[in-house]
Structures are given as C-alpha cells and as structure tokens.
Amino acid sequence: MPKIAIIIGSTRPGRNGEAVARWVHEIASQRTEVDYELVDLLDYDLPHLDEALPPAYGQYSQEHTKKWAAKIAEFDGYIFVTPEYNHSTSGALKNAIDFLSAEWNNKAAGFVSYGVFGGSRAVEHLRLVLSQLQVATVSAHVGLGLATDFVDYSNFQPAPYQEAGLTAVFDQVESWSSALAHLRGADVAAEADVEEETAA
C-alpha cells in the first residue's frame, strides 16, 4: 500500500500546525487505498544543519540525520502542513528538508498552509525548494486563513468548503505518487547494481 506522510512543519510553542495536521490526518484516514501517517518535526529534534558533507552524497554522520532519513525514505509522497512566516515557510521545515537529498527524489507533494493570507507565499517558496529535490508538487492546495478558519487566530475551525479542497490534494498526491513509482523503482535497481559492483 502506498504511504504518504503528513508533515507538521512548525515546532514553535502554541503552533497552529498540529491541529491543522490532525484535521488533515483524520480526513485522510477515511481513504482506504493509501496509508497516511503523521510525521512531527518535534519528534526528530533536528539541530541547524550539522552534516559536514552535502546531503547529495548520502553519507550521514549524525544519528539524528540517519533517523530522519530512514523515516522520510519510507514514503511515496508527502503533504506538508506549513505556516507562513515573513512570506516564506518555517525555518524548521526548510532545515529539515535541507538535511536530505535522495530520500525526497521522485516523489509527489501537496500543501496545506495557514497564515494571514492563507500561507500561499510559503507554498510558492516550498515549490521552488522541492523542485531541486526532484519532488513533483501538485497544483491543488488548501490555504487556511487565520481570520476565516481560526477563532481568535488560534482555535482551528476550518470552513466547510476546505474539505473539498483537501480531497483534491489527496487525489493529486496519490495519483502522482503512483505515476512516479517506476522512477523510484529504477533508483532502487541502480543502487543495487552499484552495491553489487562494489562487492565484486
């Protein structure tokens, strides 16, 4: 069964992202053909990027990097739940993305964002970052406004129409994740060939 991560992209105290991500996961859990899993950056305690070699080498020295890489590698696609800070995503999410390389490749991603203007500018920045990592970002996007989908800017109560938009995100991420499966399979085969040649 394909696996898709719902990544909580904020680590700050009192974050709105956890409630948003749990809403996404609750609705996703009703879909029976794909396994959705919540992934919380807080559980990985990543410091500011501290690997000596670029992630493209895949030679991770830190245990926290290896743990994060193993988790991200499990998935066929991602839904990023991101705040918008200063017209971009959170530093914590950008840092977590930058730790890895191959683990993101040839997968699909969608976005659920929140902010004063629905977090749309954070999503535009993430699209640029993820394109370099060979992640196909889908066009469907849920943007949650702090004035319209939260009470007092903190109590998450999404407008009813947002669920239809979320369904479109699920549909597109699932279909694109499936469409890219042959590329992920080719990557695995190439790695096996390299290992076999090295062993010989």
Lowest-pLDDT range of 83-97, 167-181, 185-199: 185-199
Q: What is the pLDDT of residue 188?
A: 52
Rounded to 5 degrees, φ, ψ at 146 are -65, -30
- Reply yes or no on whether the pLDDT at 197 is more than 60: no
145 Cβ neighbours under 8 A, 6+ residues apart: 114, 115, 116, 117, 118
Percentage of residues in the chain having pLDDT higher than 90: 92
Residue 35 near residue 106, CB atoms below 8 Å = no
Average pLDDT, the chain: 94
The pTM score is 0.92
For residue 87, what are the CA distances in angstroms to 19, 49, 137, 146?
A: 22, 22, 19, 15
How would you label 62-75 residue by residue, b for 16+ Cβ within 10 Å and e otherwise?
Answer: eeebeebbebbeeb
For residue 74, what are the CA distances in angstroms to 2, 5, 107, 153, 182?
A: 10, 9, 11, 34, 16
CATH assignment of 3-199? 3.40.50.360
pLDDT band at 198 (very low <50, low <70, confident <90, very high): very low
Return the domain boundaries, the chain: 3-199
The total of other beta-carbon atoms located within 10 Å of residue 31's CB is: 14
pLDDT of 60-95, one tens digit each?
A: 999 999 999 999 999 999 999 999 999 999 999 999
DSSP 56: G
